[in-house]
C-alpha cells in the first residue's frame, strides 16, 4: 500500500492511537525499529513525543516559511500541544505553506496533528508534562538559530552545544523523565541519568550533523562551529566537497572526537538502566551502536561528499542488533563492543558535565502551568546531578 496515495490519517475508522502507530514507520525508519523494543507502557508516549517533535522539525525545516512566520507557527504549535491552542486551525493554516521539500508523510502528519495531540492529552500527568516541556523548549530554541542559519556555520562550539540541546538534548531529558516515571528502579539513578541525558542526545545529534554536512549545505545551512575550523585556517563559507581540503578534514576530526566522547557518555547512560529492562536497553544501545559505527565511517573517509557514502550498511545494523542483544545484561561486554566499534575514531576530552538546564530567561510561555511542577522537580534533580559533573570519559 502506497502511503503517498492512501493516507492512514484520512480513514475515520482508525483510532488516534492507531494513526500514530501506523504513521511512525513512514516518518522515521530508525524509531520504527527502536520504539517497538520498549516496554508496552512506554511505546505510546515515546511514539507520541517523537511525532510531535517531527511536526516541530517540519515547521522549522520548511524553506518556504520565513523566520518570523516560523516563530509564530512554533508558538501556535506549542500552545496546541500544551493547551488551549487550536490544532485543527493550525494544520489548515500550515498546509498551504509547505513546499515540495516537505515529504508526503510529513504533510499527512501535519494535517493530522490534532489526532496526535489528542493522544498526548490522555497520558498520565507526569508523562504529559515531560512531553509538553520537551515540545515547548524545542519550539523556543530551534527558531533562535534559524534567523542566522547559513553556510557560514555557527560561530562557537558553545553555539553548537546550544543547538544540539534544543533539537535533541531536550528529547534526552524527556526520555529520562518517561523512563523514571515508568520504573522506580530506573528512578533510583535519576541524578546520574540527568547528568548524562543531554550528552547522550548530543552524541546522536552531532553524528547526524556530521553525516549530513553536504545535504545541509545544499539547502544553505551549516551547523558546524567556525571557531573549530578557524584554528585550521578554514572559512566554512568557502568550503566545498571538491577538491578535498585536508585542513577542513582536520577540523572535522576534532568534531568527530567530541561526538565520540558524547557517545561514550551515552553508553554510560544506557548502563545505568537496570539489565532487567531489556527493551529500554535495546532502544538506547541500537541508537548508540549505529551512531559510533557512522562516526567510524566518517573518520575513515573525511573526504566524503554525501551522507550515503558514510551510511551504515544493513548488515552492520543487523550485526549491531545481534551483538547488543547477546551482551545486553553484561556491562563489561557492552563496553568491550563499544570500544571495538570505536577503534580508530578520534576522542576529545569534554568539559565537566553540567546539571539539567532550567527554563531559559526571557522565554515567554515556555514553562506552562502543566510543566512548572515538573521543571521545579527536574531543577532540584539537576542540582543534585552536579555532584557527578566531574566524571569524565
Distance CA 189, CA 192 (A): 6
Q: Is the confidence at residue 60, as pLDDT, over 70?
A: yes
Give the chain's domain count: 1
Identify the band that residue 369 occupies on the pLDDT scale cut at 50, 70 and 90. very low
Query: In the chain, what percentage of residues exceed pLDDT 70?
Result: 88
> How does pLDDT run across 268-323, given as a tens digit for each residue?
999 999 999 999 999 999 999 999 999 999 999 999 999 999 999 999 999 999 99
Sequence-separated (6 or more) residues with CB below 8 Å from residue 314: none
pLDDT-derived band of residue 228, with 50, 70 and 90 as boundaries? Answer: very high
Between the CA of residue 105 and those of 12, 81, 99, 178, 258, what are the distances in Å?
Answer: 18, 20, 13, 27, 34
CATH code assigned at 137 = 1.10.600.10
Asked if the model's pLDDT at residue 156 lies above 70, the reply is yes
Given a contact cutoff of 8 angstroms between Cβ atoms, the answer to whether 291 and 384 are in contact is: no
What is the average per-residue pLDDT within 332-358?
92
Average pLDDT score over residue span 209-238: 95
60 domain residue, yes or no: no
Q: Per residue in 336-346, pLDDT tens? A: 999 999 999 99
Residue 372 is part of which domain span?
124-388
Establish if 363 belongs to a structural domain. yes
pLDDT of 118 above 50: yes
**Which DSSP string corresponds to 230-297?**
HTTT--GGG--SSS--HHHHHHHHHHHHHHHHHHHHHHHHHHTS-TT-HHHHHHHHHHHHHHHHHHHH
The answer to the question of residue 86 being in a domain is no
Return d(Cα 74, Cα 15) in angstroms, integer.
26
* Model pTM score: 0.87
- Whole-number pLDDT of residue 12: 63
**Domain presence at residue 357:** yes
Whether 85 is in a domain gets the answer no
Neighbours of 16 (CB within 10 A): 19
* pLDDT score, position 360: 58
Whether the pLDDT of residue 374 is over 70: the answer is no
Note the Cα 117 to chain centre separation in Å.
20
Distance CA 38, CA 197 (A): 18
Flag whether 64 is in a domain: no
The span from the CA of 257 to the CA of 141, in Å, is 25
Alpha helices in 83-156 (DSSP H): 87-94, 104-111, 113-121, 125-146
Amino acid at each position: 500500500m502506497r502511503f503517498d496515495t492512501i493516507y492512514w490519517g484520512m480513514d475515520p475508522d482508525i483510532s488516534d492511537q492507531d494513526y500514530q502507530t501506523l504513521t511512525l514507520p513512514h516518518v522515521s525508519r530508525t524509531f520504527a525499529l527502536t520504539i517497538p523494543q520498549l516496554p508496552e507502557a512506554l511505546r505510546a508516549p515515546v511514539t507520541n513525543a517523537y511525532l510531535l517533535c517531527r511536526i516541530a522539525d517540519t515547521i522549522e525545516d520548511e524553506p518556504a516559511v520565513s523566520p518570523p512566520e516560523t516563530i509564530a507557527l512554533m508558538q501556535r504549535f506549542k500552545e496546541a500541544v500544551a493547551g488551549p491552542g487550536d490544532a485543527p486551525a493550525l494544520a489548515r493554516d500550515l498546509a498551504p505553506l509547505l513546499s515540495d521539500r516537505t515529504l508526503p508523510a510529513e504533510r499527512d502528519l501535519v494535517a493530522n496533528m490534532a489526532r496526535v495531540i489528542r493522544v498526548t492529552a490522555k497520558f498520565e500527568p507526569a508523562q504529559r508534562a515531560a512531553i509538553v516541556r520537551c515540545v515547548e523548549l524545542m519550539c523556543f530554541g530551534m527558531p533562535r538559530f534559524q534567523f542566522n542559519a547559513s553556510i557560514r556555520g555557527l560561530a562557537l562550539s558553545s553555539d553548537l552545544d546550544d543547538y544540539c540541546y534544543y533539537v535533541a538534548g531536550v528529547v534526552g531529558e524527556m526520555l529520562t523523565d518517561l523512563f523514571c516515571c515508568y520504573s522506580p528502579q530506573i528512578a533510583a539513578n535519576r541524578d546520574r541519568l540527568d547528568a548524562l541525558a543531554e550528552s547522550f542526545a548530543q552524541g546522536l545529534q552531532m553524528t547526524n550533523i556530521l553525516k549530513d554536512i553536504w545535504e545541509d549545505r545544499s539547502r544553505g545551512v551549516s551547523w558546524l562551529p567556525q571557531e573549530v575550523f578557524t584554528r585550521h585556517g578554514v572559512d566554512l563559507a568557502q568550503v566545498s566537497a571538491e577538491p578535498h581540503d585536508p585542513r577542513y578534514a582536520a577540523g572535522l576530526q576534532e568534531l568527530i572526537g567530541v561526538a565520540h566522547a558524547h557517545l561514550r557518555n551515552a553508553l554510560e547512560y544506557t548502563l545505568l538502566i537496570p539489565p532487567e529492562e531489556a527493551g529500554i536497553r535495546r532502544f538506547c544501545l541500537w541508537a548508540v551502536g549505529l551512531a559510533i559505527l557512522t562516526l567510524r565511517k566518517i573518520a575513515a573517509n573525511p573526504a566524503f561528499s554525501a551522507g550515503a557514502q558514510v551510511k551504515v550498511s544493513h548488515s552492520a545494523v543487523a550485526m549491531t542488533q545481534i551483538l547488543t542483544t547477546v551482551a545486553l545484561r553484561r556491562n563489561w561486554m557492552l563496553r568491550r563492543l563499544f570500544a571495538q566499534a570505536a577503534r580508530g575514531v578520534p576522542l576529545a576530552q569534554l568539559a565537566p558535565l553540567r546539571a539539567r538546564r532550567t527554563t531559559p530567561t526571557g522565554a515567554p510561555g515556555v514553562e506552562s502551568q502543566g510543566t512548572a511542577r515538573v521543571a521545579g522537580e527536574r531543577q532540584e534533580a539537576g542540582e543534585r546531578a552536579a555532584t557527578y559533573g566531574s566524571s569524565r570519559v
